[in-house]
A = this chain, B = another copy of it.
Amino acid sequence: MSELIPGGLGVVRGLRSAGVSAGFRRDPARLDLALVVVPEGSTAAAVFTRNRFCAAPVSVSREHLAALRERDLGARAVVLNSGNANAATGAAGRATAEATAERAAALLGCSAEQVLVASTGVIGVPLPVEPFACGLPAAIAALSDGSGKDPEAALPAAQAILTTDTVPKQAAARFSLAQDDGTTQLYHVGGICKGSGMIAPDMATMLAVLATDASIGAEALDAALREAVRTSFNRVTVDSDSSTNDSVFLLATGASSTAEDRVLEKDAADWPLFVEALRLVCEDLARQIARDGEGASKLVTVRVSGAASDDDAQAAARAVADSPLVKTAIAGRDANWGRVAMALGKSGAVFSPEAVSIQIAGLEVFASGSPVAFSEEEALRRLVGYDEIVIAAQLGAGSAAATVWTCDLTHDYININADYRS
């Protein structure tokens, strides 16, 4: 069985982390440099943004991972800074990202390729290299003990990567695997992430560092990560596949309490236990991102079922979740199913309007293509009172389903994003 447990990256044995204030931000009290260190022999996988304007750290990390794969080397660290995205910064930005990895490598006694880097914050402003010079030694000095005993051990790292997020984001899960000697051993998956401006976060960044203390080969790790991201981070309307800096890292330390770890293979009978633990952590983090979207007052979960295909289900759910008219309706506590119907209609998904039903916050508002009389008072009560608003639609065209998470669109979104950068 795989289940969520309290905590974050701190539950992962062998993983040490720190968050320090390095001076990327004006506020000296704010943490802005995170460091995650794993033991020699750890494996790594990552998925990155597909935006053509991808940031320098994304290019560098991508190349480092490829080099590790080629040389059959493990990763040793991830360095993440907030306050500056090092995106659209040209050759200078590239040099800074490389210098960051080199400096961390020198301090940790590994090769530069074994260090992965990520940045988040403002675009198009040169990222200074100086804060890393003092910040990295300070972070190393502050590293947690890697015992896996303090679930909150990675909280400073989680805080150091935040931008417009209002709360740090962590999640953890555990699963057990039978060992060769007949015993059963507990393993963990932990994660930290930062969310972003919501809705069309074409420049807001989603960063996540995930890790497990199971021992897993790089190739299998990569497959598990891609599958987990597909139904979690990629189902938040943060469009994690399209911003400049989006990066999700997954490390496997293999540092469980037994000396000789069993290497978990993809074709093992209990492989799904790890995949499920990873999925649980990713989905929990993804929901935290949506809930903490810029200006959000509600988490909005859009569930489309009865679609003719997976693509249709996702397109329909995304169309609803991306619709500013739906999102402002939720902000206004209005069960405006007409906007939901119309978003479904424009999504390109194939269905017959007569077969469609819609529920908002558990109230049936549209059934088999016709409006259903419902208590506006009860709808208002739910939309005001519920913390998570579920918009569910059955298309009646097949059996595919998809869930997408988003948030409502409020005045605070405008406040946050219409401010001058200064």
Contacts and interface: CB of A to CB of B under 8 A. Distances in A.
A329 B122 CA distance: 13
Contact of A203 (B325, B332, B351): B325
B418 A88 contact: no
Interface string A229-246: 000000000010011100
A215 interface: no
A418 B414 contact: no
Interface stretch (A47-55, A137-145, A219-227): A47-55
B344 A414 contact: no
A346 interface: yes
B201 A332 contact: no
A370 interface: yes
* Interface size, A (range): 35 or more
Given A123-B341, A202-B345, A334 B52 contact: no
B346 A417 contact: no
B324 A90 contact: no
Contact of A339 (B202, B370, B409): B202
A329 B418 contact: yes
Nearest to A122: B338
A337 to B, nearest CB: 7
Nearest to A368: B90
Nearest to A422: B376
A181 to B, nearest CB: 51
Nearest to A338: B123
B371 A323 contact: no
A58 to B, nearest CB: 11
A87 interface: yes
Contacts of A334: 418-421
A111 interface: no
Given A200-B325, A203-B325, A414-B331, A88 B338 contact: yes
A204 interface: yes
Contact of A244 (B124, B342, B422): B342
